[in-house]
Structure 1
């Protein structure tokens, strides 16, 4: 298979990486996990993704940071006891294959697929593909197609770790309505306005907008687009980061997870498909 001209391939500690450098941006994708690790637009040279300096980059554990792929369940919602199956499913610890790469007028397109989609906890016939477009913005689309004869239901998320200058100073704009607070025994609460961060946060917002914006000291610096989702998950471990083996105690300061997700169940009949998309980039500038 021919590799697009903007793509080079490298390997380290058993992990194969796709390194993209086109006229719009640079990016890095790990085939372990089908995992986008960085995206830096050339318009401002600011990486929009956060990768833990202590992330396991040897294939032994899921990678902390970037855009982990959660599928076919979110968190431990797999119907068995917690810990019986891997959290967030089994795609983020697989080696994915590059099916196609192409340079186009809007960026570099990569199409990846996992090694397998049937495992304990999900034994249905389906096809999963991840299409990544590196242009002025980063687009990641996870498509699930039911290729069998049995209907199934699944959950999924693009568990994106966004880089922020300081989480204590940023504001997330675009969310409203109510959310489920995982840290308060799933209590339903109203979304704060303005939406700022002063403590550990783990929330599932069921009002799922198509556009959100991160602001730093009142100025927009990252725009987040979503499609095919029924939820937005917002997470920051705050001081609990000290107990996470692949984060440092103050790593929480420079990251915020804003996840495009399906947490309420996507039902697919035979022949049907579903696509979950997240688009990340600099805010649109008025001319």
Structure 2
């Protein structure tokens, strides 16, 4: 059980679990339990806080825009937002009786020279004053991420949110995702809405599906040989994206290496992408847990 700061990386452990967070985007880049790594990280990922590109892999935070947003307030913001580009403050890490906790923070003060933040402010005609915090709680068999947003000055602040998590799997063709039966989804490659009627989802080609989760879809399992995880999240994260670029998509991304590693990863991402509003002085919170099963 320990905490180590190595430049832009904060490493912490508890029992047989180890985690690493990069200050760049406050990105969880490693989650290891009993020697097995459960997150995919591209070999070309740049973890430096001075890098001009976000981390490819791990768990980047998508805020305030998902994709190229259709919301008027976010149309000028780049795809997937800008907080994943920022160097977050590492606040503190503590080894407690039952877990190790690491805390990070980002505010508008760190974003004032970021063009995407400036563009976001222009919609409201004023500086957006906000604070984001990320708290990672590491247990022997799971990790919980707690995120909160405070809106300090805008009457009604609109945003989208997503944990863009890349999971490592031995072979994506042998992977099954369960817990999505009965959920409606948008196939973003075909722009078609469908209903998932299968107890298991297999990923065998380029995939980009966005699910709307119901009460029966609150536990999502990724099953792949001995690499099995259970995903849960707070009820306000009612959207779930399943994404794999496959061979063609991987070839187009400069920082996706090796190109063949699409075979060993799949993104399964809890979020709130329909658009959430937060009143002045309000606090919005969400939570996501990855448990080894």
TM-score (norm 1): 0.87
Q: CA 1:220 to 1:38, structure 2 compared with 1: closer, same or farther past 3 Å?
A: closer
Offset of residue 211 of structure 1: 1.3
Matched position secondary structure for 1:162: strand
Gaps of 5+ in 1: none
- Deviation sequence 1:68-91 (CA, Å, 0-9, x none): 0111111111657x9953321111
Separation of aligned partners in 1, 2:172 and 2:75: 30
Match of 1:54 among 29, 44, 50: 44
Corresponding residue for residue 195 of structure 1 = 201
- Deviation sequence 1:148-198 (CA, Å, 0-9, x none): 25111110111000111111011001113210111012x101225121111
Corresponding residue for residue 124 of structure 2 = none
Alignment coverage as a number of residue pairs: 271
Separation of aligned partners in 1, 2:42 and 2:68: 22
Match of 2:255 among 236, 243, 246: 246
Gaps of 5+ in 2: 122-126
State whether residues 146 and 286 of structure 2, in contact with CA within 8 Å, keep that contact through their aligned partners in structure 1.
yes
Separation of aligned partners in 2, 1:220 and 1:97: 32
**Structure with the larger helix share:** 2
State whether residues 179 and 189 of structure 1, in contact with CA within 8 Å, keep that contact through their aligned partners in structure 2.
yes
Separation of aligned partners in 2, 1:148 and 1:60: 29
Offset of residue 132 of structure 1: 0.8
Corresponding residue for residue 230 of structure 1 = 238
1:147-158 counterparts in 2 under 5 A? 147-158=152-163
Separation of aligned partners in 2, 1:270 and 1:86: 24
State whether residues 107 and 130 of structure 2, in contact with CA within 8 Å, keep that contact through their aligned partners in structure 1.
no
State whether residues 78 and 121 of structure 1, in contact with CA within 8 Å, keep that contact through their aligned partners in structure 2.
no
1:104-115 counterparts in 2 under 5 A? 104-115=96-107
Comparing 138-147 and 89-98, the one that deviates more: 138-147
